[in-house]
Amino acid sequence: MKSVQDNCGIFGIFNMPDAARLTYFGLHALQHRGQESCGIVTSTYDEHKKRRVMPARRDFGLVLDTFDDPSIFNNQLLGDAAIGHTRYSTSGSSLNRSNIQPFNVHYKDGNLAVAHNGNLSNARELRRAFSERGTLFQSTSDTEQILHLIATSRRKKQLDQIIDALMQLEGGFALVLLTDDRLFAVRDPNGFRPLALGRYEASGRTAYCVASETCAFDMIGATYIRDVKPGEILIIDRDSCATGEFQSIHLPARYGISQCIFEYIYFSRPDSRIYGEMVDKVRRKIGKQLAHDAPVPRVNAEEKPPIVISVPDSSNTATLGYVNECHKLGYRARYEIGLIRNHYVGRTFIAPGQDKREMKVRCKFNTVDGVLRNRIVVVVDDSIVRGTTAKLLVKMIRKAGAKEVHFRVASPSVVSPCFYGMDFPSHEELIANRFGSIEELGRWLNVDSLAYLSVHSLMKAVRRGNRKAKKGYCNACFTANYPVPIQTGVTKDEND
């Protein structure tokens, strides 16, 4: 599934010298969640200005490129508290430098910075209300509205201002908010986007950190404690770092719990713990369920067994589960590496005289011809969205000499766009909506057979993989059942 882009990654740490450098490493672990731009904001005391300030560094590109100068950490991003963000835009133009997060402002009650993963489903309504009051916007991102809500709140205390602002938000959001003396970690009441709490200890000092995925904790050597709960506002300050006890406030839940199931299918790294369980474990369960729904083709004893290949990297784990379960069910099959992915492809490239989409796929993938030639090939991918990549991969596999090509998808058909933080195409662009049946789509892809995991089977596999999570999941992209109302007429690119 290469047509859906990752949502953003956020990281925050409080009460540790060199906080910016630790945030840098945390963002590096979260780079898969966004490659367009990144940034870090810290909190420190300026001896010349005699007040606390929030220096920032933001730029387009990857984390390693944006923070490649050591002086950034030695001279600019000082302080023992920091938040960071790595971005793929789902709201607001990716070409607008003003949209690069974290955002930070100085207002009547001090400094304030925010990094946001998700989409606000009521962003259009909020923006219209602010515009009518004469509010000026610096960006086209819905995240800026969070700062305006806090700054214009009539509450006296800063904590109450933040709560007042959060109460007005709808949709999917995981936030890290940094003030002059506290770090706030927030998940929306539905829990759409993940956010985890960790503890970091060094030189006799204890700090606490939050991240979109626990792989960021592994990068810096922090210990995972628990997830930030849906609707929770977790407050980290000096006292909590000393005692390990946190002030926790909960936003009212109006629509129940609906954690994004696509985190397990595609977004998160397999070595991360999401919603309390390892992604690797859940993806293997998904692959096993796919084997029950759509196993490999049966062949005669005289024939070579089908080979099963993944579309690297996000479908690797599900493919392993699929092959192992096919064996248990009595099907002959062998796991092979038939596609090689180039991990060093940039965001842009020149493709003169060739179809750009096909060249983009060829820049990212290549076939292992000796593995595929004269074999029955079963391709396992995590999903099909626009279908462009899948069609071109099938073409490449057939050109490599495959005798048959069968496609297995470790998720249901994507039939609806997402408004909670994933960059799904419009309803018309989704390939599942362009064909009347799976058989028709299979003929368009030029495969010998095509099969998807059903919605029922997906939910069954995820619940088996994460028995500790008794809460619900959002599967609106597969069912069009949106757990939080969407404003009529909102389009994915209206702010671009």
| Cβ atoms within 10 Å, residue 108 | 7
Question: Rounded CA gap, 290 and 307, in Å?
Answer: 16
Q: Mention every residue, 6+ apart, whose C-beta is less than 8 A from residue 26.
A: 11, 13, 84, 209, 211, 216, 217, 219, 220
State the DSSP string of 22-34: HHHHHHHHTGGG-
Between CA 244 and CA 124 the distance in angstroms is 39
Helix (H) or strand (E) holding 381: strand 376-381
Q: Are 101 and 92 in contact (CB under 8 A)?
A: no
Environment class of residue 259 by beta-carbon count within 10 Å: exposed (0-12), middle (13-18) or buried (19+)?
buried
- The region, left, alpha or beta by phi > 0 then psi within -120 to 50, assigned to residue 335 is beta
User: Which of helix, strand or coil describes residue 233?
Assistant: strand
Distance between CA 222 and CA 120 in Å, rounded? 30
Find the catalytic residue in 8, 241, 260, 418. Answer: 8
Residue 160, Cβ neighbours under 10 Å: how many?
Answer: 12
Beta carbons within 10 angstroms of residue 417's beta carbon: 21
Residue 8 annotated to the active site:
yes
Q: What are phi and psi of 330, to 5 degrees?
A: 90, 15
Question: How far is 101 from 8, CA to CA, in rounded Å?
Answer: 10
Which residues are designated catalytic?
A: 8
